[in-house]
Amino acid sequence: MFSNLKQVVMLTLLASAASSTLAAPAPVSDIDYSSNQSNGQASASNTSGSQDSEVQRLERLVKSRSRMQLQMQQQLDDMSQEIRSLRGKLEKNSYNMQQMTKRQRELFVELDDLRSQMKTAKTADASQQDMNSDDEGTFSSNKDERSAYQDAVDLILKKHDYDGAIQAFEKFQKDFPDSVYTPNSHYWLGQLFFAKKDDVKAAQNFAKVVSFEKSNKRPDALVKLGDIARRNDQDAQAKKYYQQVVSDYPDSSSAEVAKSHLK
């Protein structure tokens, strides 16, 4: 009986020990390792996703800046083209202004020459005396003829209306085609057109003066024809006109001018 009791006690102790062993918790180190491994995988996944997102953001930023740079470059190119265009227009306008100023200066010089040639005609009596000495020493008895001629001259000397003077002299020639002042009127027109650089009309009027062999304006008209030819690079023709002045009017002031051009 004692032996049976001992066996029961031993079995009870064994059962208790087995139960304690089964109920024991898992080792702390095993749990921590598993948890760390899981967290590491999650952290790596989050890091990878964050890096991808950052790369995409940088790519978008680079593309955006590239587009802005292209737009700015296009705007700069457009502005440069516009500036070049404006500079070209400015240079052209500046050149035109210089040419206009030069032309006005030349016109004033020519007209000053005209005024100096007629400075003695300040009054009607003085200009009548000058007219009496012209054109074979004749004088028109036609009052209207004298008045029309004097009015045309006054437009030059007193009013400085050169375009008006051209119209007045052309009208005078139509109204008085056989006037004794015809050579003078052609000479004035020649001078006015020469100052305006209308060489065709200037030459036509100076040639008319030359056709009046007794006109005291003839030597000056020949010099002007030479000047027109020289201005148009017709040097041989210009030389002929100058030589004719020297030959036909050797003691005149016009001959001195012609000689200076022949040197």
Q: Tell me whether residue 134 is in a domain.
A: no
Q: Tell me whether residue 84 is in a domain.
A: yes
**Higher-pLDDT residue of 69, 106:** 69
pLDDT of residue 134: 45
**Token code pair at residue 119:** 């400075």
pLDDT of residue 122: 41
Q: What would the DSSP string read from start to end of 195-258?
A: HTT-HHHHHHHHHHHHH-TT-TTHHHHHHHHHHHHHHTT-HHHHHHHHHHHHHH-TTSHHHHHH
Model confidence at 82, pLDDT cuts 50, 70, 90, reads: confident
Q: How many CB atoms lie within 10 A of CB 148?
A: 20
pTM summary value: 0.52
pLDDT digits (tens, 9 = 90+) for 14-28: 545 444 443 444 444
**Higher-pLDDT residue of 39, 98:** 98
Q: Helix, strand, or coil here: 120?
A: coil
pLDDT of residue 54: 79
Closest CA to 150 of 119, 185, 183: 185
Output the 3-class SS for 37-54.
Answer: HHHHHHHHHHHHHHHHHH
Q: Tell me whether residue 5 is in a domain.
A: no
Given 3-state DSSP classes, what are the helix, strand and coil percentages for the chain, each rounded to the nearest 5?
A: 80, 0, 20
User: Which range in 116-120, 132-136, 187-191 is most confidently predicted, on average pLDDT?
Assistant: 187-191
The answer to whether the CB of 217 falls within 8 A of the CB of 209 is yes
Q: Tell me whether residue 23 is in a domain.
A: no
Please tell me the total count of domains within the chain. 1
**Higher-pLDDT residue of 73, 243:** 243
The domain containing residue 109 runs over which residues? 72-117
Q: Tell me whether residue 221 is in a domain.
A: no
Q: Mean pLDDT across the stretch 100-129?
A: 53
Model confidence at 59, pLDDT cuts 50, 70, 90, reads: confident
Query: CA 21, CA 248: separation in Å to the nearest integer?
Result: 156
Query: CA 115, CA 134: separation in Å to the nearest integer?
Result: 18
Asked if the model's pLDDT at residue 202 lies above 90, the reply is yes
Q: Tell me whether residue 210 is in a domain.
A: no
Q: Mean pLDDT across the stretch 44-55?
A: 65
Q: Tell me whether residue 80 is in a domain.
A: yes
Amino acid at 182: T
Query: CA 158, CA 59: separation in Å to the nearest integer?
Result: 84
Query: CA 190, CA 206: separation in Å to the nearest integer?
Result: 5
Asked if the model's pLDDT at residue 135 lies above 70, the reply is no
Q: What does the mean pLDDT of the chain come to?
A: 77
Model confidence at 115, pLDDT cuts 50, 70, 90, reads: low
pLDDT of residue 92: 79
User: What percentage of residues in the chain have a pLDDT greater than 70?
Assistant: 65
pLDDT of residue 121: 42
Q: Tell me whether residue 230 is in a domain.
A: no
